[in-house]
C-alpha cells in the first residue's frame, strides 16, 4: 500500500474566490444534462431533523464516465444566528471511485450558494420572458442575494427590483449590494409587488405561503428556493395547479420541494430542457415555476473544477493520508 497518499483541504478562503460565475454556470448546466441523460447518478437523499434543532442532510452521487464520486454533508442550524455564524453549513468530499480513498475535502457553504444561484439563473434564463424587467425578491439573505445576482446577470433587460422582508423593514446592505446595477427598493405591499413583477424569487426559510395565489399574473416566472425539507413551503395553495412546473429532480421536488404539496401534478426536469429532450417553449400567459431542491451532481461538478484548479495552482493544504 502507498504510504505517501495525500488529502487536499480547501477552506472558505480558497474556495470562495475561485467560484467564477461563468465556470459555475457551465458546471451546473453540465450537472443537469448529466442527470437528464442518466450519465450521472443521484443517490438516495438523507434529510433529518436533529435533537439540537438543526437539520442534517447528505446529498451524494457519481459520474462513472468521469470517475467522479462524492457527497455533500449539509444542513440548517438556526442556533448559529446567535453565534454570529451562517445558518447553513456544508462540507463536500471527493473520492477516488477505484479505491475509495478521499481526494479532497472542501468548504461547501460557498459552493452551495454559488451553484444554487447559478441553477436559479439558468431556470430564469430558460423560462422567464426575454423582455422581463421587473423582479420581486422575498428574502434578503445569502441565497436571496445570489439568486438576484444571477438573475440580473442573465436577464437581457435592465431591471427594477422590489424586495420583501419578513417584518417590512429596510435592508440597507442588501440594497447597497445592487446599487448601480438596478433600481431597487423595499416593497410596500407584497401582493402588489408580486402582481407588478415579471419574475418572483422566493428565498426564505420556507415557513409558509408568502403571498396570495391570485396576486400572480399570467406570464410570471417564479424561482423557488426555500422549500428543501418536508413541511416547508413558500407558494400559496392553488398556484402550482395554474403553473407549468420545472424541477431539478422529480423525486426530490415531490418529497421535499414545493411539489410535496401537489405531488400528482406533471413536472419537467430542467436537465431535459437543457439537453433538448423536452421543449422550453411557453406561451405569453404561462405561469412557470422552477422548484429547486438541489442536486448532488451540482455540488460534484463544481467541486471537481475547484479541485483541479487547486491542483494546477498549488492552492489549499495537502496533508498526509496514508493507507
**In-domain check, residue 236:** yes
**In-domain check, residue 126:** yes
Are 290 and 302 within one domain? no
The residue written with cell numbers 442550524 in the block is 77
Are 224 and 301 within one domain? no
Domain assignment of residue 244, given as a range: 118-294
The residue written with cell numbers 426555500 in the block is 226
Average pLDDT, the chain: 95
Are 233 and 305 within one domain? no
Are 302 and 213 within one domain? no
The set of long-range contacts for 237-243, using a CB threshold of 8 Å and a minimum separation of 24, is 237/209, 237/213, 237/261, 238/213, 239/213, 239/287, 239/289, 240/265, 240/289, 241/265, 242/213, 242/216, 242/287, 243/286, 243/287, 243/288, 243/289
Task: Name the E strands within the chain.
Answer: 6-10, 41-42, 46-49, 55-63, 68-76, 88-95, 102-107, 134-138, 160-164, 183-186, 199-202, 221-224, 243-247, 267-269, 287-291, 317-320
Are 253 and 137 within one domain? yes
Answer yes or no: is pLDDT of 201 > 70.
yes
Q: What is the pLDDT of residue 85?
A: 85
Q: What is the pLDDT of residue 2?
A: 64
Answer yes or no: is pLDDT of 281 > 80.
no
Q: What is the pLDDT of residue 1?
A: 60
Name beta bridge partners: 308. none
Q: What is the pLDDT of residue 23?
A: 97
pLDDT digits (tens, 9 = 90+) for 165-184: 999 999 999 999 999 999 99
Are 176 and 262 within one domain? yes
pLDDT digits (tens, 9 = 90+) for 105-139: 999 999 999 999 999 999 999 999 999 999 999 99
CATH code of 67's domain: 3.30.1780.10
**In-domain check, residue 82:** yes
Are 150 and 271 within one domain? yes
Are 147 and 10 within one domain? no
**In-domain check, residue 75:** yes
Are 232 and 305 within one domain? no
Residues ≥6 apart with Cβ < 8 Å to 189: none
Are 162 and 214 within one domain? yes
pLDDT-derived band at 283 (thresholds 50, 70, 90) equals confident
**In-domain check, residue 1:** no
pLDDT-derived band at 143 (thresholds 50, 70, 90) equals very high
CATH code of 267's domain: 3.40.50.720
**In-domain check, residue 76:** yes
pLDDT digits (tens, 9 = 90+) for 219-277: 999 999 999 889 999 999 999 999 999 999 999 999 999 999 999 999 999 999 999 99
Are 148 and 281 within one domain? yes
Q: How many beta carbons lie within 10 A of that of residue 268, not counting itself?
A: 17
Whole-number Å distance between alpha carbons of 159 and 181: 8
Q: Into how many domains does the chain fold?
A: 2
Are 75 and 161 within one domain? no
Amino acid at each position: 500500500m502507498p504510504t505517501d497518499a495525500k488529502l487536499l483541504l480547501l477552506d472558505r478562503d480558497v474556495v470562495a474566490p475561485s467560484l467564477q460565475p461563468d465556470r459555475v454556470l457551465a458546471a451546473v448546466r453540465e450537472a443537469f444534462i448529466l442527470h437528464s441523460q442518466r450519465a450521472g447518478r443521484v443517490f438516495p437523499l438523507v434529510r433529518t431533523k436533529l435533537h439540537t434543532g438543526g437539520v442534517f442532510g447528505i446529498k451524494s452521487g457519481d459520474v462513472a464516465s468521469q470517475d467522479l464520486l462524492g457527497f455533500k454533508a449539509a444542513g440548517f442550524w438556526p442556533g448559529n444566528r446567535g453565534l454570529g455564524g451562517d445558518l447553513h453549513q456544508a462540507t463536500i468530499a471527493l473520492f477516488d471511485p477505484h479505491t475509495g480513498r478521499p481526494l479532497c475535502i472542501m468548504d461547501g457553504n460557498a459552493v452551495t450558494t454559488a451553484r444554487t444561484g447559478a441553477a436559479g439563473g439558468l431556470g430564469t434564463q430558460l423560462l422567464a420572458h426575454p423582455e422581463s424587467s421587473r423582479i420581486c425578491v422575498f428574502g434578503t439573505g445569502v441565497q436571496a442575494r445570489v439568486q438576484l445576482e444571477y438573475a440580473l446577470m442573465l436577464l437581457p433587460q435592465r431591471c427594477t427590483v422590489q424586495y420583501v422582508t419578513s417584518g417590512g423593514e429596510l435592508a440597507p446592505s442588501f440594497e447597497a449590494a445592487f446599487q448601480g446595477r438596478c433600481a431597487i427598493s423595499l416593497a410596500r405591499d407584497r401582493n402588489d409587488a408580486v402582481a407588478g413583477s415579471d419574475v418572483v424569487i422566493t428565498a426564505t426559510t420556507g415557513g409558509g405561503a408568502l403571498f396570495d395565489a391570485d396576486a400572480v399574473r399570467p406570464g410570471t416566472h417564479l424561482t423557488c428556493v426555500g422549500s428543501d425539507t418536508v413541511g416547508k413551503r413558500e407558494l400559496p395553495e392553488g398556484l402550482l395547479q395554474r403553473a407549468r412546473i420545472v424541477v431539478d429532480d422529480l423525486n426530490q421536488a415531490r418529497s421535499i420541494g414545493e411539489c410535496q404539496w401537489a405531488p400528482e401534478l406533471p413536472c419537467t426536469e430542467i436537465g431535459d430542457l437543457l439537453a433538448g429532450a423536452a421543449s422550453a417553449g411557453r406561451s405569453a400567459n404561462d405561469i412557470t415555476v422552477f422548484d429547486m431542491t438541489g442536486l448532488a451532481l451540482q455540488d460534484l461538478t463544481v467541486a471537481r473544477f475547484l479541485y483541479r484548479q487547486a491542483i494546477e495552482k498549488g492552492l489549499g493544504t495537502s496533508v498526509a493520508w496514508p493507507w
